[in-house]
Structure 1
Amino acid sequence: MTAILIDQLRADLATANFSVTALTGLWGIEADAALHRNQRVPALRALARLRATLTVPEPNVVLAQLFVLGLPVARTEIDAALPTLGVDGAERLGLLSAHHAHGGTAEEPALDAGPALVAPLVDLRPYSFVDAHGAGSWWITSDLGELALGHPLGENHVLGVGGASLTLSALMIPTPVDSALDLGTGCGIQALHAARHATRVVATDISERALELAALNARLNGVENIEFRLGSLFDPVAGERFDHIISNPPFVITPRVEGVPSYEYRDGGMVGDALVEAVVRGAAEHLTPGGVAQLLGNWEYHEDDAFDRLTDWLAAPAGGDAPEATGRAGHPAALDAWIIEREVQAPTGYAETWIRDGGTRPDTPDFDRLYGAWLDDFEARGVRQVGFGYMLLRRPLDGRGRRAAPPRPRLLRLERLPEALGHNAAGIGNHLAECLAAHDWQAGLDDDALSRSTLTVASDVTEERHFWPGQEDPTLMTLHQGGGFGRSVPLDTAQAALIGACDGELPVGAIIDAIAQLLDADAAALRTELLPRVRALLDDGFLEPPAAGSAA
């Protein structure tokens, strides 16, 4: 019966054209931006003006008021907006309930009057995206936020699609795989994205409520290749391995003292950053050879550099359970890793961020009490700063894997890119896949083989030059990346000439020899200087290796 009701809801939402574009058309771009800042007054005012011009409100107006803005509407209006499902069906699905009249306030004027009102029990809104498979749109249900509730969130709150969710979905490598795992699925948004490139997806969560909503979202959007399992971390998938693991884990560092709320969607119940460490270490045992894990996380700075601690997490596990998991001399192989630290916060800023995230306002006694608890915890454990970023892990292949070849050096790349993804997140998953492939290609070549290869400049790369007035030679040259992480690289004359000649025709070594002749430089010394830079530019996606199947 529930499946039938969800199918009826899908049909009604489609008929109503309940979409991102339609809602933006209702209240405008500025009100839409305000909603992303958790401010609904501009949207409310726009709907009030629209209602004043309509004898009967459009279905989108009713649905937006109820499920997006979190305010009650007349029962007759929701029956008209959801004609197939109706109020009774929506109640059985747990989407809404009967509610008394709401009079409104000066800031948020009442949009209804009369006793026969219904109120939302969930947030239900459209979500649109573009990924490697093209444009798509879904409807996503989650729990009501503090704006609709009028009080701080409950500890079992199921979060909707937020900034972290959007970041992880943008980072997701879209390479087709047989199996994927969404660890800590929440409302199911990452599992839905993974289902577009994985034959089957397993989504786990410690929260029964989260799994209920995630399963509803999968059915609502016609996605059938996701299996939902209850349990903590990797417990529900013990003994199983996956080609792709995705996780936006509950990584928030929270004081483990009485009186501090522990929200299921963000707090893993462990001390400090131990939850992220557990996910990293567990990934090694649950990835297939060549499999990739992608997650967001926090890590603490103590007296040492946090990157030293991250490197320790990535070390080979204490034991091995299968031949293909082992490295040389029978020892388990350490994970490949590419970790990007996007931001570092002081304990004060970190505490303020997450106390507000739970809905506690700064002008309340509770805020000061929680603030003190956070600072006490950080001080007691010697935490100086907290880093946030993205982790890409990969289980190495043995000689029998898909990329059977002589062993390559381990990929261990830890870097700091402040505000990475701040400029453009579109296509970043493809960029990561291309960078990994380019790294694997160049890491398998010695310098002589690399010198014989032909390379091309990526299509999003531009060069910027600055000149002193009246001078013919540039004083500053910089290479810019339009996509990916938007990197910029300073150039000298030789490197600029090399990149400018990388058109897929001449081998790298021949180009360097020609440059050496023009600059009256030693060709061997110039190769020694430039080839490491070529490798770095391949790793970062500025240069591209030959297409598969072409001669190197």
Structure 2
Amino acid sequence: MTSPLRPADVAALRDALTRVGYTVEGVEDLLGPMASAALHREQAVPARRVAASRAADPRATLTSLFLLGDEVPRAAVDAALPGVGTAGAQALGLVEAAGAGPDDAVRAVLDLRPYAATDARGPVGWWLVSDLGELATGRRLAVDHVLGAGGASTTLAQVTMRERVGRVLDLGTGCGVQALHASRHADAVVATDVSRRALDLTRLNVALNTPDADVEARLGSMLEPVAGERFDLVVSNPPFVITPHEGAAGAAVDRAIGAFEYRDGGRSGDDLVRDLVTGVGEVLAPGGVAQLLGNWEHRRGQDWAERVGGWLDASGLDGWVIERELLDPAEYAETWIRDGGTTAARDQGAWDAAYGAWLDDFASRDVEGVGFGIVTLRRPVDGARPTLRRLEEHHGSLRQPLGAHLAASLAAHDWLEARDDAALAAEHLVVAGDVTEERYLTPGEPDPNVVIVRQGDGLGRGLQASTGLAAFVGVCDGELAVGQIVGALGALLGVPADDLAGELLPAVRGLVRDGFLAPAAGTGGSAS
């Protein structure tokens, strides 16, 4: 993709894809549930059989061409892309044709697939151009392979806060997924990457999906392309995979699966994520937020939260880290050897060598596990000191998109910081609409011995509540102030109000922070 994009050509492609129904829903309708599920598992046979049986359907032609990597007749491509045809797709760098005849074979050069997701701003339906995967090519991925929308990129899109902002930085943009999402709520987006090829594909994807957006693509590593600039939001799905690089271990991994720019930043251990966490504040405007994904090592004799917490301390930023998954060294090695493609899978010796190299690399740093999760950072306003330092494990389910929940929790944190216990006691609170209560009783006993207050949204937290706290939550309807409720419960339970306040108010703060409780409308308080 070296020639400049012509807006009219891209617009014609967008119109053609829309007209023939080449969408996520359209392809799933074509293939049916079994073949769709198999294709998600990188198994092509069921989808290939369906596409062959419905060859006259334009969606079948495009699925065969772009998703399965099959050759299709030129006439079929012309029919599947009305107003564009094979010639137009060639001009955009999407396909190659063996000749100009109607039966001459056409094959895809790039992956062009429909994309659907829901972020905190609502649903989107686009098309993403990226490099063809092994399923389509049958070959080992290139070092500069540009990945489409994987699980990590979808996760980041869903957890990102989507308030209207001025400038957004998408660091390590790849094919531009995060830039596309950001373009819906930002005045301007800067997308950076070390790969010229990735930036070319980002430009094509922006032109195809959000042509009116102000998105600038810049070449460079980490924060270098934007040094001295300021952004209201930074998003990054960086190349965080921990990969052996030194000596025989690095050579064994390179022989087995190679190095990939999209996942391997060339650093030892989790140094890349550490440096991004500690350095991203340099480009954040006051009040600006950075949200990124990452891996971090759990090392023998040191709690991970202490270690990663040190990164937050060094950053000078408010910080919130949610660990979503924890793999032991063997699980981690298996995950990324498989992700590297089929070369090692077909060669047991290569697989074993790469596996051993990963284990040796982890052993050299006393690594017992690797965490994966979400990091949210914020630059304090007006030189204030950070007030948020939160590191937690949440390996269970959550309700996506999470971005709005995270934004509300940050707002609640600020609301609480502005109120001491006396001010909090004067506030009126209400229970969030997604909160439920579970009671567990021993058979034959009249009263529950366990009460759990649970939220259905966000992180789906469950809190085992004391009798007093459960009663407090149960009467938070906005009518009475916090202090009034505590006083009434103290009288009911026969506990001095000050003692009960000392027990309940810290817990109430936690419930407000996590979205179980919220300031009542019209009472002078708001956490948003």
Alignment TM-score > 0.5, same fold: yes
- The residue number in structure 1 matching 2:516 is 542
Counterpart-to-counterpart distance in 2, 1:546 and 1:438: 13
The equivalent position to 2:337 in structure 1, one of 355, 360, 380, is 355
- The residue number in structure 2 matching 1:153 is 141
Deviation at 1:408, TM superposition (A): 7.3
TM-score (norm 2): 0.93
Residue 184 of structure 2 aligns to a residue whose secondary structure is coil
Say if 2:243 is the partner of 1:254. yes
Closer, same or farther: CA 377–513 of 1 in aligned 2, 3 Å: same
Residue 321 of structure 2 aligns to a residue whose secondary structure is strand
The equivalent position to 1:36 in structure 2, one of 40, 44, 49, is 40
Q: Which residue identity lines up with residue 320 of structure 2 in the other structure?
A: W
Counterpart-to-counterpart distance in 1, 2:105 and 2:459: 49
The answer to whether the Cα contact below 8 Å between 1:362 and 1:368 also exists between their aligned partners in 2 is: no
Say if 2:52 is the partner of 1:48. yes
- The residue number in structure 1 matching 2:219 is 230
- The residue number in structure 2 matching 1:301 is 298
Q: Which moved more, 1:371-380 or 1:215-224?
A: 371-380
Q: Which residue identity lines up with residue 280 of structure 1 in the other structure?
A: V
The equivalent position to 2:266 in structure 1, one of 247, 266, 269, is 269
How much is the aligned-residue C-alpha RMSD, in angstroms? 1.8
Counterpart-to-counterpart distance in 1, 2:445 and 2:241: 54
Counterpart-to-counterpart distance in 1, 2:338 and 2:314: 38
- The residue number in structure 2 matching 1:368 is 352
Q: Which moved more, 1:472-481 or 1:450-459?
A: 472-481
Deviation at 1:236, TM superposition (A): 0.6
Residue 468 of structure 1 aligns to a residue whose secondary structure is coil
- The residue number in structure 2 matching 1:136 is 124
Q: What does 1:486-525 correspond to in 2, within 5 Å? A: 486-525=460-499
Say if 2:182 is the partner of 1:194. yes
Counterpart-to-counterpart distance in 1, 2:499 and 2:430: 23
TM-score (norm 1): 0.89
Q: Which residue identity lines up with residue 357 of structure 2 in the other structure?
A: A
- The residue number in structure 2 matching 1:290 is 287
- The residue number in structure 2 matching 1:67 is 66
Deviation at 1:2, TM superposition (A): 2.3
Q: Which residue identity lines up with residue 38 of structure 1 in the other structure?
A: E
- The residue number in structure 2 matching 1:475 is 449
Q: Which moved more, 1:347-356 or 1:29-38?
A: 29-38
- What's the CA shift string for 1:431-471, capped at 9, x where partnerless? 00111111110121110100110111111111111223343
- The residue number in structure 1 matching 2:230 is 241
Q: Which runs of 4+ in 1 moved over 6 A?
A: none
Residue 188 of structure 2 aligns to a residue whose secondary structure is strand
Q: Which moved more, 1:241-250 or 1:77-86?
A: 77-86
- The residue number in structure 2 matching 1:212 is 200
Q: Which residue identity lines up with residue 251 of structure 2 in the other structure?
A: E
- What's the CA shift string for 1:108-128, capped at 9, x where partnerless? xxxxxx961111111111111
Counterpart-to-counterpart distance in 1, 2:66 and 2:191: 25
Percent identity reads 51
Closer, same or farther: CA 305–68 of 1 in aligned 2, 3 Å: same
- What's the CA shift string for 1:480-516, capped at 9, x where partnerless? 1111011111112111110011111210110011111
Counterpart-to-counterpart distance in 2, 1:72 and 1:434: 50
Counterpart-to-counterpart distance in 2, 1:128 and 1:40: 21
Count of paired positions: 508
The equivalent position to 1:424 in structure 2, one of 399, 417, 429, is 399
Closer, same or farther: CA 312–469 of 1 in aligned 2, 3 Å: closer
Deviation at 1:280, TM superposition (A): 0.9
Q: Which residue identity lines up with residue 94 of structure 2 in the other structure?
A: L
Residue 218 of structure 2 aligns to a residue whose secondary structure is strand
Q: Which moved more, 1:295-304 or 1:244-253?
A: 295-304
Q: Which residue identity lines up with residue 222 of structure 2 in the other structure?
A: L
Structure 1 residue runs of 5 or longer lacking an equivalent are 52-56, 101-113, 318-333, 400-406
Residue 517 of structure 1 aligns to a residue whose secondary structure is helix
Structure 2 residue runs of 5 or longer lacking an equivalent are none
The answer to whether the Cα contact below 8 Å between 1:409 and 1:443 also exists between their aligned partners in 2 is: no
Q: What does 1:383-398 correspond to in 2, within 5 Å? A: 383-398=367-382
Residue 377 of structure 2 aligns to a residue whose secondary structure is strand
- The residue number in structure 2 matching 1:331 is none
Closer, same or farther: CA 548–126 of 1 in aligned 2, 3 Å: farther
Deviation at 1:545, TM superposition (A): 2.2
- The residue number in structure 2 matching 1:402 is none
Counterpart-to-counterpart distance in 2, 1:353 and 1:446: 47
The answer to whether the Cα contact below 8 Å between 1:408 and 1:443 also exists between their aligned partners in 2 is: no
The answer to whether the Cα contact below 8 Å between 1:146 and 1:359 also exists between their aligned partners in 2 is: yes
- The residue number in structure 2 matching 1:312 is 310
Residue 301 of structure 1 aligns to a residue whose secondary structure is strand
The answer to whether the Cα contact below 8 Å between 2:119 and 2:160 also exists between their aligned partners in 1 is: no
Counterpart-to-counterpart distance in 1, 2:200 and 2:356: 36
Say if 2:169 is the partner of 1:172. no
Closer, same or farther: CA 71–423 of 1 in aligned 2, 3 Å: farther
Deviation at 1:547, TM superposition (A): 4.1
Counterpart-to-counterpart distance in 1, 2:205 and 2:37: 25
- The residue number in structure 1 matching 2:426 is 452
Q: Which residue identity lines up with residue 424 of structure 1 in the other structure?
A: R
Say if 2:29 is the partner of 1:25. yes
- The residue number in structure 1 matching 2:503 is 529
Counterpart-to-counterpart distance in 2, 1:416 and 1:67: 39
Counterpart-to-counterpart distance in 1, 2:307 and 2:393: 15
Q: Which moved more, 1:13-22 or 1:200-209?
A: 13-22
- What's the CA shift string for 1:526-548, capped at 9, x where partnerless? 00000000011111111112448
